[in-house]
Amino acid sequence: MRKTLLAVVGAMVVLGLVSALSYSQQKTFQYVGVTKCKMCHQLKPRGEQFQKWQNSAHAKAYEVLATEQAKAVANKAGVQGDPQKAAQCLKCHVTAYDAPASAKSATYKMEEGVTCEACHGPGSEYWKMNVMKDLYDGKIQPASVGMTVPNEQLCKTCHNEKSPTYRPFNYQQAVAQIAHPVPKQ
Return residues touching ligand HEC (CB under 6 A).
32, 34, 36-37, 39-41, 46, 49-50, 53, 57-58, 60-61, 64-65, 67, 69-70, 73-74, 77, 79, 83, 86, 88-89, 91-93, 114, 116-120, 123, 127, 129, 132-133, 135-136, 150, 154-155, 157-160, 162-167, 174-175, 177-178, 180-182
Instruction: Give the whole-angstrom CA distance, residue 90 versus residue 96.
Output: 9
Please identify, using beta-carbon distances, which residue of 7 and 76 lies nearer to ligand HEC: 76
Q: Specify the 3-state DSSP secondary structure of 104.
A: strand
**Residue pair 32/127 in contact by the 8 Å Cβ criterion:** yes
Minimum CB separation of residue 51 from ligand HEC in Å reads 8
Q: H or E stretch including 171?
A: helix 171-177
Question: How long a stretch of residues is the chain?
Answer: 185
Minimum CB separation of residue 98 from ligand HEC in Å reads 10
Please identify, using beta-carbon distances, which residue of 24 and 160 lies nearer to ligand HEC: 160
| Residues linked to residue 31 through DSSP beta bridges, in sequence order | 104
Number of Cβ within a 10 Å radius of residue 10: 10
Q: What is the DSSP letter of 82?
A: -
Minimum CB separation of residue 100 from ligand HEC in Å reads 17
Please identify, using beta-carbon distances, which residue of 81 and 102 lies nearer to ligand HEC: 81
**Residue pair 155/166 in contact by the 8 Å Cβ criterion:** no
Of all residues in the shown chain, the one whose CB is closest to ligand HEC is 123
